[in-house]
């Protein structure tokens, strides 16, 4: 397989897009380390799934906004899985509100998880990647980081930051044969979206030219491709997986 024997860290992997990414990477041969914040039951289920595919799994309880925890996860991954080749910065939260009502806590939490979290884990793995002269980093952004979204100034700002962060890292790390890219999903059929108001889903469907929500695995397929050697000459790019929602 394309990723046989490689080791990937996937943040926020116990459900939704993150889970689909972890499973698709494993199906391509990678061993998976992942973090989770609360749902230990989902973390155990994911480990069982990955091990059932013949891959190694390492689940670590950690908040991505914690800089020291990111350093520790990179160290544990190296110690227990023996190497480190791929980082997927997927973990994210949203806490919506119009800007004139948004609280400091709403702003800070989304920025800390969605943007600072990507920095924390990138900072943790890049010394390893530089030393070995290889590595793949894929950051999960959003089309709302490209266009802005009513009621999501914090989320749009964080994801726009992830896009800028991706491009700057690609420039800094390219000389070490490290590829850094971003994937920007549109509205994807996850548990979070399933609980969204009906009018939100209907409005999104009106924007999507393919007239359906995306599936988590459809994002995962693109992420996995970017982690293979087939994508070795792609870096600094933002690839939209949105069914034409943002054209």
Asked if the structure places residue 246 within a domain, the reply is: no
Contact call for residues 185 and 202 (beta carbons, < 8 A): no
Q: What's the CATH code of the domain at 70?
A: 3.40.50.720
Asked if the structure places residue 184 within a domain, the reply is: yes
Catalytic residue among 155, 176, 221, 246: 155
Question: What distance lies between CA 79 and its chain's CA centroid?
Answer: 23
Asked if the structure places residue 26 within a domain, the reply is: yes
Asked if the structure places residue 247 within a domain, the reply is: no
Domain span at 41: 7-241
Asked if the structure places residue 1 within a domain, the reply is: no
What is the pLDDT at residue 195? 72
E-strand spans in 178-244?
Answer: 178-185, 238-241
Does residue 36 have an active-site annotation? no
Domain count across the chain: 1
What is the pLDDT at residue 196? 74
Asked if the structure places residue 43 within a domain, the reply is: yes
Question: Which parts of the chain register pLDDT below 50?
Answer: none
pLDDT digits (tens, 9 = 90+) for 57-75: 999 999 999 999 999 999 9
Asked if the structure places residue 12 within a domain, the reply is: yes
Asked if the structure places residue 202 within a domain, the reply is: yes
What is the pLDDT at residue 203? 86
The model's pTM = 0.97
String of DSSP letters for 78-95: HHHHS---EEEE------
């Amino acid at each position: 397989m394309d990723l046989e024997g490689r080791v990937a860290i996937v943040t926020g992997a116990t459900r939704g897009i993150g889970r689909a990414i972890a499973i698709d990477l494993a199906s391509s041969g990678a061993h998976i380390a992942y973090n989770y914040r609360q749902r230990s039951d989902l973390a155990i289920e994911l480990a069982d799934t990955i091990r059932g595919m013949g891959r190694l799994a390492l689940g670590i309880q950690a908040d991505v906004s914690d800089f020291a925890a990111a350093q520790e996860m990179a160290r544990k991954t190296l110690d227990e899985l023996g190497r480190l080749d791929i980082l997927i910065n997927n973990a994210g939260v949203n806490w919506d509100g119009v800007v004139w009502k948004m609280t400091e806590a709403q702003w800070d939490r989304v920025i800390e998880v969605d943007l600072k979290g990507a920095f924390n884990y990138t900072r943790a793995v890049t010394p390893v990647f530089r030393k070995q002269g290889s590595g793949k980093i894929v950051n999960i952004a959003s089309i709302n980081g490209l266009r802005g979204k009513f009621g999501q100034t914090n989320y749009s700002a964080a994801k726009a930051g992830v896009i800028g962060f991706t491009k700057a890292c690609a420039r800094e790390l390219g000389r070490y044969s490290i590829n850094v890219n971003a994937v920007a999903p549109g509205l994807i059929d996850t548990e979070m979206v399933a609980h969204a108001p009906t009018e939100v889903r209907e409005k999104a469907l009106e924007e999507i030219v393919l007239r359906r929500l995306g599936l988590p695995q459809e994002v995962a397929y693109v992420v996995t491709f970017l982690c293979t050697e087939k994508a070795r000459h792609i870096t600094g790019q933002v690839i939209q997986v949105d069914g034409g929602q943002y054209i």
